[in-house]
Structure 1
Amino acid sequence: IYTDFIKLRKFFKKSTKNGLLISIRSMASKTQVGFIGLGNMGNPMAKNLIKHGYPVMVSDVFPESCKELQELGAQILDSPADVADKADRIITMLPSSPNVIDVYTGPNGILKKVKKGSLLIDSSTIDPAVSKEMAVATEKLGAVFMDAPVSGGVGAATSGKLTFMVGGLEEEFNAAKELLSCMGANVVYCGQVGTGQAAKICNNMLLAIGMIGTAETMNLGIRLGLDPKLLAKILNMSSGRCWSSDTYNPVPGVMEGVPAANNYQGGFGTTLMAKDLGLAQNTATNTKTPVPLGSLAHQIYRMMCARGYASKDFSSVFQFLREEEGQ
């Protein structure tokens, strides 16, 4: 089915009625899936593929991160190229644009051994321009690249309730959705390659602004003598309600099961938020779009990285503001 994928896809396009496009890959469910990048997000995502019955083969630059997946039945391979040699559906979940470029086009990258007709899905959050570059390089080898960054954090990755924002060929969306639905509750087609990344960096810019606003608001209320749990309750039944206040509150003691309840460990790191805000800032500059609050949020998270918060969850901005206040 996969070897002559391009020719077969054209055939099915012509023979499909009412404009409905059939993806040949949807016929090949439960075949092997490659997964590269087993960090805080990639690890639970790969686990959910296994839970849904997919044979998974994994690779990561840190071999120790593969052990838990191996115990669940995943096959461990040495490099992205090895994964591409054995699987024609591959998902990558990597920290940054340089990591994606290396994993796809490096000496031991996916494109060194990619098969024609392979479906490559990148769930990293990177520069949209890099996604487009990877798509062009992939297409030259007869394969398909789609960007599918995620929202929801580690909790949603663990529970399989992520939101995927997908960019790429529309006729490939159903094939991608088949896999992504094992890891997410929402899989949204955004348009051509790069639009998934565009949606993600816009979302994260708003998330950062909202988290800073929630942290400032909670801090002010506490300074005015309000109990933080009471203040959070009032906010969440009023017009100030947002995800940062009702689902991921940054104040220790207000909610259980969030990084703020565990000294800001786990979750979405401050370094990654600073990186995503940098992507938003660069894109805004290139498109001459004013984003004053996004720019300020970027500055704040960069300051946090320089002052010992790099490895903490991004909601630690509450603690950062409290410490700044005391200086």
Structure 2
Amino acid sequence: MSSSHLQIAWIGLGRMGAPMTAHLVEAGHTVRGVDLNPAAAAAAAAGGVALAASVADALQGATVCITSLPKPAHVREVYGGADGIFAHATPDMILLDTSTVDVETSRWCHTEASARGLTFVDAPISGGTAGAEAGTLTFMLGGEPADVARVTEIVAPMAGNVISCGDAGAGIAAKLVNNMMLFINVMAMSEGSQLAEELGLDAETFWRVASVSSGSSWAMRTWYPVPGVLEKAAANNNFAPTFSVDLALKDCGLALAAGEQVGVHLPAATLAHAQLAQLADEGLGGKDCTLVARLATPDGALRGYDPALDATPAHV
């Protein structure tokens, strides 16, 4: 962790941004943040973030700007818009994006920043909301070695692992491949959990077996989709989102697009994407992505999920 104080601008204070900024504040840094969602902004403020009125306001006096945004279009607008980061950043700032975007958008950020004499590092993350809260996220960095070294120190209070993945765009490429594997693992875990249920196995006992055996995965150890097994799993909260169907569908689609560009065949990821799309088409895009377990059950009913408790599913 860096001992020196930093003034950090943070754009996008959502489910990941709020706990991540709290770790930076706890490390002794000043964070000025902005978000269009008042509830998200209020949650970050409760963690010590000083709220800014605009991107330009957040950047005043900052030497670091971090973005955490839902989609590639948001990243391009926040960076390149008329009142965006590129319009107000100064050469002494280091810009890093933790969002999950397509490789082209990340490379665009690098190219546009370089053309303006600015420093940019792609810095996507893995670990979900649990990792954000615990400060154990994995950061995958892409950029010039000296810039990556600076960012490694900056993100340390939020990270369990910081890995330099290579040149511009390498961090986001690693993230897309990683998330694609996650969604395939979610599908495998979903089918396995429901087969175990129908075969009469005790859910916690089977989880204990699989978690130390060849069926294990990060998804299974963290998100097991049966209530009463893992305290923070969405299955205990009517599948309220820790990682929403909508965001998973977006990320999986980006991975499929990358595969198409380089000619790699991705049949398992294609099926995972189709299952997420089915949930989204049913109006369940705001639920947790582990709700795909419902598609494995004999009758479409899933223990831990009561559709009657969903008034109007909110997309996230």
TM-score by length of structure 1 reads 0.88
**Cα shift readout 1:45-68 (whole Å, capped 9, x = no counterpart):** 111100100011111122342223
Q: Structure 1 regions of 5+ residues with no counterpart?
A: 1-25
Change over 3 Å in CA distance of 1:323–1:61 after alignment to 2: farther
d(CA) in 2 for partners of 1:300, 1:178: 39
2:225 counterpart of 1:262:
no
d(CA) in 2 for partners of 1:66, 1:100: 18
d(CA) in 2 for partners of 1:55, 1:234: 45
Q: Secondary structure at the match of 1:182?
A: helix
1:240 is matched with 215
**Cα shift readout 1:21-49 (whole Å, capped 9, x = no counterpart):** xxxxx999312111110110011011110
Change over 3 Å in CA distance of 1:240–1:69 after alignment to 2: closer
Give the aligned residue type for 1:176: V
d(CA) in 2 for partners of 1:79, 1:252: 41
* Aligned length in residues: 301
Is the CA contact (8 Å cut-off) linking 1:79 and 1:109 kept in structure 2? no
d(CA) in 2 for partners of 1:199, 1:63: 32
- Identify which of 68, 76, 80 aligns with 2:43: 68
| Bigger Cα displacement from structure 2, 127-136 vs 70-79 | 70-79
The offset of 1:223, in angstroms, is 1.2
2:84 counterpart of 1:109:
yes
**Cα shift readout 1:64-109 (whole Å, capped 9, x = no counterpart):** 4222333444322122232233312111000010000011011221
TM-score by length of structure 2 reads 0.90
| Aligned-residue RMSD, C-alpha | 1.8
- Identify which of 284, 289, 300 aligns with 2:259: 284
Q: Secondary structure at the match of 1:185?
A: strand
1:4 is matched with none
Is the CA contact (8 Å cut-off) linking 1:244 and 1:250 kept in structure 2? no
Is the CA contact (8 Å cut-off) linking 2:144 and 2:168 kept in structure 1? yes
2:121 is matched with 146
Give the aligned residue type for 1:259: A
Q: Aligned residues: percent identity? A: 34
d(CA) in 2 for partners of 1:75, 1:84: 12
Is the CA contact (8 Å cut-off) linking 2:18 and 2:47 kept in structure 1? no
- Identify which of 105, 108, 121 aligns with 1:133: 108
Change over 3 Å in CA distance of 1:256–1:83 after alignment to 2: same
d(CA) in 2 for partners of 1:238, 1:70: 42
**Cα shift readout 1:117-164 (whole Å, capped 9, x = no counterpart):** 310000000001101101111112211111111100101101100000
d(CA) in 2 for partners of 1:277, 1:324: 26
